[in-house]
Amino acid sequence: MGPKDIITIDGPSAAGKTTLARELSKRLGWSFLDTGSIYRAVGLAAMGKGLMGEPGPVLGGFVRGLDVSVKPSPEGSRVFLGEKEMTGEIRGEDVSKAASKISGYPEVREALADIQVRVGEAGRLVTEGRDQGTYIFPDARLKFFLTASTEERARRRFLELSVKDPTLRQEDVLHRVRERDYADESRAAAPLKPAKDAVIIDSTELSQDEVLAIMERMARERFPELL
């Protein structure tokens, strides 16, 4: 085993990365790293300190001063700030917005890169995010880039969020998805893009089960000695 025994799943928001990464890790018996949970945890911490309006160097210094740790498993990632587990506190829309904002700062991404790399040192890891195959784990043996049309991703996110907020409008969700895409693709640090050796999967017309079957088949072909 080594750092190359890693499967990365990158892609834009609402593409289904988290669910698919979790299910793939369960089928393979590997650990699962939800990198978004790390950004949400530090975003929540920055919100609590009133730092969201500060520039990148200040936020980067703040994040480096945090005691952030993550414990991946096939069930999901548990995130801690010091000894306090943050996993159950980081799923709100306001926290997601904070995570999206701070993730655009190179200083913050650099501060959190080391945490992710350390998690990958044990190998046998399925990790999802927006820069896993290009920046964090460029030597991963199998990389996926999961995408879908903007409209389809907005529809999926709307169905997910409208359960909790019946007043939500689908056109508002579409606007947010487009905003997040622009922020991810245009940021200076590790912008969202497929790795040169990534397998690109467009799930617009595919079910999650169909995408998962493709990923599992390719994983078993790529890692026969580990499965």
Domains and CATH numbers, the chain: 6-217 (3.40.50.300)
Instruction: End-to-end CA distance of the chain: give it in Å, rounded.
Output: 12
- Residues 24-41 have pLDDT tens digits of 999 999 999 989 889 999
Model confidence, pTM: 0.88
Least confident piece of the model among 13-17, 73-77, 123-127? 73-77
- Residues 58-91 have pLDDT tens digits of 999 999 999 998 887 666 778 899 999 988 888 7
Task: Quote the tokens at residue 11.
Answer: 């892609």
Q: What is the average per-residue pLDDT within 128-134?
A: 94
Give the contacts of 28 (CB within 8 A, at least 6 positions apart): 7, 124, 126, 216, 219, 223, 227
Q: Label the pairing between strands 6-10 and 31-34.
A: unpaired
Mean pLDDT (the chain, rounded): 91
- pLDDT for position 73: 67
- Residues 154-206 have pLDDT tens digits of 999 999 888 888 899 999 999 999 998 998 898 877 889 999 999 999 999 99
pLDDT band at 128 (very low <50, low <70, confident <90, very high): very high
Task: Quote the tokens at residue 195.
Answer: 């790795």
Nearest one of 113, 132, 152, 118 to 194, comparing CA atoms = 132
